[in-house]
Chains A and B, each alone.
Chain A
Amino acid sequence: MSQTQTRANIGYPRPPNDDKERMRIFLRNRPNFPAQEWLRHANRHYAMSWDGLVIHASDPDFNGLLRQLDEMGIAQDQVVFGSTTLDADSEMGLAGSKLESVQSSEPNAQ
């Protein structure tokens, strides 16, 4: 089931043509994004407005998120994509992951 904020609509303001101005606005707003709203989209892909003020839509599946944006008439180059991976644990380096070159095949390698 998708989650959508009502503010997200075709009428959302377009970003400035100047990429620096666009980013200045985003960086001013993004750290102040409401925690409770963020938590509503836990463990989902989301599309945030270019100004960092609203999450237009979220979905467990990235392609599902793109479909939602299409249905809402929101251009994909006017959003910022992300995903929330919230849990009660603290992360401990490399975002809880380990990257390596495989030296030998293992049964659980995918």
Chain B
Amino acid sequence: MSLRFPYVPVPLRGAVPATLPVNATAHWRPLLPVRVINAQSGTFHDLDDALLDTGADDCLMPLHVAQRLGVAFLPEKSPGARIRWRGTWWPIRYGDVRLQLNDGTQIATWPARIAFSQALHDQPILGRAHCLQFFEAAFRGSALAVDLDPIATFPGTIT
């Protein structure tokens, strides 16, 4: 059974893009609530608006999430990795956490290696590695919802 999450409207500011109806007031995006858990301490951080992004290789979270949870970063490789956010390059650090998606009927929890960045006003991203790779994802355009079906080899728990 799939986990289903409704798309979230992100209000438009300024002119309505040419691809939307003239009376549109929002972009509808697959923004999911996600819980990031420190597996050692059990402390968690609930995020409102992680973008489910099929074009992203990794999962990316704000650095302050790692700091608040006390996530231990993996040793930094030289020369390291970085992210370009709106024209500026920022270093990223990786850490191991547990991710949890809860649609109100099922809760999926699994271990994940996440990139953390200090990029300003960062948009949390759920990408392929350690997230979408574990689900069959169906983006329901007409229903404005996304269905996530854990694969047979899902590495975590479904409750």
Contact = CB atoms under 8 A, between A and B. Distances in A.
A82 B85 contact: no
Interface size bucket, A side? 35 or more
A27 B104 contact: yes
A44 to B, nearest CB: 8
The dominant DSSP class at the B interface is: strand
A71 interface: no
Contact of A82 (B5, B12, B49, B104): B49
A94 interface: yes
Contact of A90 (B19, B55, B125): B19
Interface size bucket, B side? 35 or more
Contact of A95 (B15, B51, B106): B51
Interface centre among A79, A96, A97, A101 (most CB of B within 10 A): A97
Given A23-B104, A86-B11, A95-B53, A81 B60 contact: no
B140 interface: no
B125 A38 contact: no
A110 B11 contact: no
